[in-house]
Structure 1
Amino acid sequence: MARIDDRREHERFDLNASMVYAFHDSDLFYQARMCNYCKGGMCFMSDNALEPGSDIYIMMENFAPDAVGAEFYDGYLAEVRWCQKLIQESATDFLVGVKYYQTVIK
């Protein structure tokens, strides 16, 4: 059986960065932390569970336009593909995987 990494369409890059997201047609933004990204999507950690199939708008927070991963600076629309509950001693977080509606990295 192929490993999950072997089936990925795009190379993945680790990036621990602050970000915010809002549900489509909402101006209420939630804090989150990006874990990694690729040309087609990203994984981030959130305090909230997100329903797969939801449309969200993602923006990097306090992010320099010339930094690594600067292609996220303007913000992007994405679809939530999966959401996993992570139970830790201090808190419950959710790991969220999204797919961009438009490819971000050239």
Structure 2
Amino acid sequence: MRLLFDANLSYLIIKKLEGIYQNCLHVTKTELPTPAEDIAIWNWSRQNQYMIVSNDEDFYHLSSLYGFPPKVVLLRTGNQSTNQLADLLILHKDDIEQLWASQEYGILEIF
């Protein structure tokens, strides 16, 4: 399972999750320009087989328009600290793994 964290999430989340999710990458560590456009992140994720983790609703719309891959974990939590988001992603690890394995679903919304 490969997770790409969008720029709207702190790059520090990678350190907090590295023992839980082995293949995490922040968008700033890709060859994409900073800031990268959502469609560029979408295309990069599809080509490199990553699942996008974001709180940007635009990825929900891209998923509705283009389908998957890439799959999207959409965080609908409002403003949360990096620690709170990391805890939430740890809590929902089984759900995220199920999304990764699913042939039917392309988006997981976490509230």
TM-score by length of 1: 0.28
TM-score by length of 2: 0.28
Q: Going by fraction, where is strand more abundant, 1 or 2?
A: 1
**Larger Cα Rg: Structure 1 or Structure 2?**
1
Q: Going by fraction, where is helix more abundant, 1 or 2?
A: 2
